[in-house]
Structure 1
Amino acid sequence: MERQVLLKEVKKWNNGKIIREKMAKTFALRRQEIVEKQPRVEELQERWPAMFQADEINAEFLQITTVPLQPRFLAGLDKQSSQLLQVMRKKGGAVGEKIRDILKPLDQGVDMNIRREGILKSLVIYLGEDVRHLIKEYLVVQKEEAEAELENATMAIFVLRDGDDLSPPKDIGLVIDGVEVLNNLFSIASACAMLFGLTYAVNLSYPVELKYTFETFNLSYPVELKYTFETFNLSYPVELKYPFETFNLSYPVELKYPFETFNLSYPVELKYPFETFNLSYPVELKYTFETFNLSYPVELRYTFETFNLSYPVELRYTFETFNLSYPVELRYTFETFNLSHVVLKPTRRLSDAGRCGEEVHGIRQVRLRNREVISRSIRCQ
């Protein structure tokens, strides 16, 4: 219902406030649809057209990561620009020549947007990737040729100019899977931020040919929030999933376990790993519980450890007490290693040297999972 109302509101003029409110209300529904169904970009444009507006890309990224997209991206780029220029200008060989050609106009005191553009282009080349895979530039008179070429683009920024590279662009936009998703952006640096934000919003992996460039974009966010992206974001690029999970010690220490326990990025099909964090442990005794299992009754320790994840919460103690969850095919194995059995060894034979006497035999008592006690008498020849 909210989505249908939102579709009507998008068609109205000067309606930004209502669109923002409706987009915020439908965020959970939209994320579930994107992650589970993985719709094509055309479908998303039809169902959620507001998501492909610059303001809403910023808002969506903020909802997912708790970090402002464009301000942080541009501020990070400006902060590192002097150091980046110093490093890139020292590059030798053919790559160094290309970088110096791009950076040459920056010495003339150009506009800030042109400076950012030059740094970003040089950075792509410095990382060993082709800048034409990221930024595709055309003259206005080549518009039809540009449209035909962009239909085959997986992910790119297009720029239309009247003349040389120092002239203000007539149009800057984004293409994903051959579909134009955004235009009329004010700079190439802004377009890079929007494209980076859309990889999160639309749940896209980084293009293979631009992997290092996008990973570098990601470093413009503070280290202390870097792993927050993985925790609160369902759409983190697949190729970075495991590095982020492996180094999750960079969560703020005081929030590490809340982050892991309430991790919103677990899909339904991974609910058992989520249950591994066992919310029933008192926080102050978590390590004691997990390491030494001191709260488990000794005779049920292996049952608790082995089957703890699979019990319905409301029947957990019933299952643990009566060992109902032993797999049939492993029943005897589990009973053999069950610490609840008690063994009484046979007593010594009471007999004279020359005749067969009576033997008092011990009894081995085994507690089975139905609590039945079987006593066996052992008689010798």
Structure 2
Amino acid sequence: MFKSKKGRVGEKLDELMQQMNTGKQADVTAMHTLALRGLPILLSDDASNVYNTCKACDIDGWPQVPVGVMTVIDEEEPLMPNKLYLDPIIVEGGIVLDNMQNLPQAICTLFGLSYALNLNYPKGMINTFNFIQKVILGLGQNKLPPKISETTNLLLS
């Protein structure tokens, strides 16, 4: 589905997918990470306040992130905007949970916390979290908003 998209969305998805095409065959976790990074792009969400990356020395400088997944990288590693980093932590003005194994685990945990505690989904990622809730997990109402319905139909075709 990512490969079929054109225009600006297609360019962003292609940038993510190129990371999967280099080196050895991608493992399942990397593919799930790609899907979770690409889903907000497909759903016209803004993941910039939810998916964050910082260097280890800057970890305390992120209190402005209301809720999201932060990936901490080594000081020597260059920051790349759409790199599929692993080893994230969950933040909400400070570190809430760390030692997450990968982005899929972090997003599942963040979704679970949001759903179980009846919290609002992160701003900018409402379509993505609704997609996870209604389509992937089959929870809640069957009526899907148009953007989620369109993406679901693409998946099923």
Could you say whether these structures have the same fold, taking a TM-score greater than 0.5 normalized by the shorter chain as the test?
Answer: yes
How far off its partner does 1:121 sit? 0.8
Alignment identity in percent?
25
Could you give the per-residue CA deviations for residues 231-268 of structure 1, whole angstroms, max 9, x where no partner exists? xxxxxxxxxxxxx4x97xxxxxxxxxxxxxxxxxxxxx
Do 2:33 and 2:84's aligned partners in 1 also have CA atoms closer than 8 Å?
no
Pair 1:197 & 2:109 matched: no
**Structure of greater Rg:** 1
Could you give the per-residue CA deviations for residues 335-378 of structure 1, whole angstroms, max 9, x where no partner exists? xxxxxxxxxxxxxxxxxxxxxxxxxxxxxxxxxxxxxxxxxxxx
Do 1:134 and 1:210's aligned partners in 2 also have CA atoms closer than 8 Å?
yes
CA change 1:123–1:97 in 2 (3 A) is same
Letter in 1 for 2:115: Y
Secondary structure at 1:208 match in 2: coil
Pair 1:147 & 2:60 matched: yes
How far off its partner does 1:136 sit? 0.4
Secondary structure at 2:136 match in 1: coil
Please name the residue that 2:136 is paired with: 220
Could you give the per-residue CA deviations for residues 146-176 of structure 1, whole angstroms, max 9, x where no partner exists? 321x211111001112336467x4x421012
Separation (CA, whole Å) in 2 of partners of 1:159 and 1:200? 22
Please name the residue that 1:94 is paired with: 8
Secondary structure at 2:91 match in 1: strand
Unmatched runs of 5 consecutive residues or more in structure 1: 1-86, 228-243, 248-381
Larger relative contact order, structure 1 or 2 (CA cutoff 8 Å, min sep 6)? 2
CA-based RMSD of the aligned residues comes to 2.2
Please name the residue that 2:96 is paired with: 181
Kindly report structure 1 stretches of 4+ aligned residues shifted beyond 6 Å: none
Separation (CA, whole Å) in 2 of partners of 1:133 and 1:93? 23
The alignment of Structure 1 onto Structure 2 pairs a total of residues equal to 134
Do 1:137 and 1:159's aligned partners in 2 also have CA atoms closer than 8 Å?
yes
Secondary structure at 1:152 match in 2: coil
CA change 1:212–1:112 in 2 (3 A) is same
Superposition map of 1:154-303 within 5 A: 154-162=66-74, 163=77, 165=83, 169=86, 171-176=87-92, 178-218=93-133, 219-222=135-138, 226-227=139-140, 244=141
Separation (CA, whole Å) in 2 of partners of 1:127 and 1:147? 31
Unmatched runs of 5 consecutive residues or more in structure 2: 144-157
How far off its partner does 1:100 sit? 0.4
Superposition map of 1:331-342 within 5 A: none
Letter in 1 for 2:72: L
Letter in 2 for 1:146: I
How far off its partner does 1:180 sit? 1.4
Q: Which has the higher helix share?
A: 1
Letter in 2 for 1:161: I
Pair 1:137 & 2:53 matched: yes
Letter in 2 for 1:100: D
Do 2:9 and 2:41's aligned partners in 1 also have CA atoms closer than 8 Å?
yes
Do 1:88 and 1:123's aligned partners in 2 also have CA atoms closer than 8 Å?
no
Do 2:60 and 2:94's aligned partners in 1 also have CA atoms closer than 8 Å?
no
Separation (CA, whole Å) in 2 of partners of 1:209 and 1:190? 20
Could you give the per-residue CA deviations for residues 98-139 of structure 1, whole angstroms, max 9, x where no partner exists? 11010112234122211111111111111112232221012x
Q: Which has the higher strand share?
A: 2
Letter in 2 for 1:91: K
Could you give the per-residue CA deviations for residues 186-242 of structure 1, whole angstroms, max 9, x where no partner exists? 0101100000000023321112311101011112114xxx24xxxxxxxxxxxxxxx
